[in-house]
Amino acid sequence: MVETTLVSIAALVAIGAQAAAQAPPPRPEPIAWTTNWFYADAKRNFLEAAELMPAEDYGFKPAGDVRSFGQIVGHIANWQFTNCSAAKGEQNPNKKDLEKSESKAEIVDGIKAAYAYCDEVFKSLDLDRLSATSGGSPVMFRAMSALAHPYLHYGNLITYLRLKGIVPPSTARRGG
């Protein structure tokens, strides 16, 4: 009985030592990982907000001298195409000013296409890529622009949704 216990303990120690000797899995590079996390969060919030607002309220403005809900969504679609094409060193593939569109379907299709186009940029990010220059600008500048500007305007969309009695997606996910 004592021999069996000792053999079992020795086997467990050997297995543990072997496992400890193996290299730990690589840790994600923190800057690119964080950038991608915030990009995914901004994308989710923006796309869900664009879907939530009814088509008849895409022209809604809380005051006469501000953009309508649809104009904000179209503006960000244009912005994403501009920044991500510069980050890729490509010509902007978007030939339509989505901020001027009045169709929810066209605007939603545009914002989805813009984020799909930007997905390639964010999937390629690592420290080397973020440090590179493309389209005359640092890729990190373009990536941060494709993150920060939509977050700024998501704040507008939250207000517009609330004024229409709609709970914003980020709040709804938290149960609020």
Q: What pLDDT digit, counting tens, does each position of 73-84 carry?
A: 999 999 999 999
Round to whole Å and give the CA distance between 33 and 3.
50
pLDDT at 10: 46
71 pLDDT above the threshold of 80: yes
- With tokens 């993150």, the residue in question is 147
pLDDT band at 152 (very low <50, low <70, confident <90, very high): very high
Q: Is residue 141 domain-resident?
A: yes
19 burial level (CB within 10 Å; 0-12, 13-18, 19+): exposed
From 52, 19, 33, select the one nearest 122 (Cα to Cα).
33
Better pLDDT: 105 or 34:
105
Residue 17 counted as domain residue: no
Would residue 1 count as lying in a domain?
no
pLDDT, greater one: 128 or 75: 75
Nearest to 74, CA basis, from 42, 120, 116, 114: 114
Number of CB atoms found within 10 A of residue 104's CB: 20
Structural domain count of the chain: 1
Q: Could you give the CA distance from residue 14 to residue 32 in angstroms, rounded to a whole number?
A: 37
Please write down the HEC assignment for all residues of the chain: CHHHHHHHHHHHHHHHHHHHHCCCCCCCCHHHHHHHHHHHHHHHHHHHHHHHCCHHHCCCCCCCCCCCHHHHHHHHHHHHHHHHHHHHCCCCCCCCCHHHCCCHHHHHHHHHHHHHHHHHHHHCCCHHHHHCEECCEEHHHHHHHHHHHHHHHHHHHHHHHHHCCCCCHHHHHCCC
Confidence (pLDDT) at 79: 97
CATH code, domain carrying 74 = 1.20.120.450
Assigned domain for 8 exists: no
In a domain, 49, yes or no: yes
pTM: 0.82
Is residue 6 domain-resident?
no
- pLDDT tens string 90-102: 999 999 999 999 9
Crossing angle for the helix pair 104-123 and 69-88, to the nearest 10 degrees: 30
Residue 140, domain extent: 35-58+68-173
Indicate whether 4 belongs to any domain.
Answer: no
* In-domain check, residue 140: yes
Interhelix angle for 30-52 vs 69-88, to 10°?
150
